[in-house]
Amino acid sequence: MTARRIPILLLALALAPATAMAHYPWLTPAGYAPPPGQALPFRIGWGHDFPGTDTLPRERLLAAELLDGEGNVLAVPLGPGDEFATPPLPGTGPWVLGVRQAPGYYSRTPRGGQRSSRADNPDALSCSHSTNTVKALLGSGAGAVARPLGHPLEILPLAATAGTAAPFEVRLLFRGAPWQGEVNATYEGFDAGEPDYPLTVTTDADGLARLSFDRPGRWLIKASASEPYPDPATCDRNNYNATLTLVVR
């Protein structure tokens, strides 16, 4: 490759659509049917190949919460490293575990990706500010799994269990209001290609999406929203990613 073509290649890579290579988080608990009264270990997966092996460390996380079957929301302490655990699980379930990633900037530059805004990268070709949240649906039975945790973009499961016999319903909220857009889902072992996700549906006017799973196992549900950043001199877009992991039985 000639020296003249190298800068052109770098520029092309920097200008490529961010969604094609975008990483996002998901929640990976030690199990999806945990026994009541015991702590549940979990990690935060990271990448674009679920379930993957990469994880997010404590310094890239903001806070964690646990919703119990009675509708109570409990804070979950996050220690150092990338392995965490809930307090002993209260009641008999179900539970929803939720974690917020610390928001951050990402600029695409001729020098490569930088985790900072355009203010720190005057040569930035694009900049995004991401706010990511993750959930996991745990246990089974009747309970308050649909109570919002206040995530900016949030996936609310409308049932505690999912199967292949009937569609699984979720409601999408953006800043507390019904959100309309695409909801994607993938399963453990899916070989991503074209399309990137084996299941894609669109929410209705009430933010409701119905997902027909075609196999049992671990699944990930994902939604993404975007809007202009309020100060173009600092960044271009505010991006929001929300994921929910669960086991389809």
Please list the ranges in the chain whose pLDDT falls under 50: 1-20
Q: Do 67 and 149 meet the contact criterion of CB atoms below 8 Å apart?
A: yes
Q: Do 126 and 108 meet the contact criterion of CB atoms below 8 Å apart?
A: yes
**pLDDT tens, position by position, 93-106:** 999 999 999 999 99
Burial of 155 (0-12, 13-18, 19+ CB in 10 A): buried
User: What pLDDT score does 18 carry?
Assistant: 40
Instruction: Please give the single-letter amino acid code of residue 7.
Output: P
Handedness of CA 34, 29, 170, 63 (dihedral sign): positive
Q: Do 145 and 94 meet the contact criterion of CB atoms below 8 Å apart?
A: yes
pTM for the model: 0.90
80 Cβ neighbours under 8 A, 6+ residues apart: 58
Instruction: Locate 217 and state its tokens.
Output: 């196992």
Q: Do 92 and 69 meet the contact criterion of CB atoms below 8 Å apart?
A: yes
User: What pLDDT score does 21 carry?
Assistant: 52
Q: Tell me the domain boundaries of the chain.
A: 5-248
**pLDDT tens, position by position, 67-81:** 999 999 999 999 999
CB atoms within 10 A of CB 166: 11
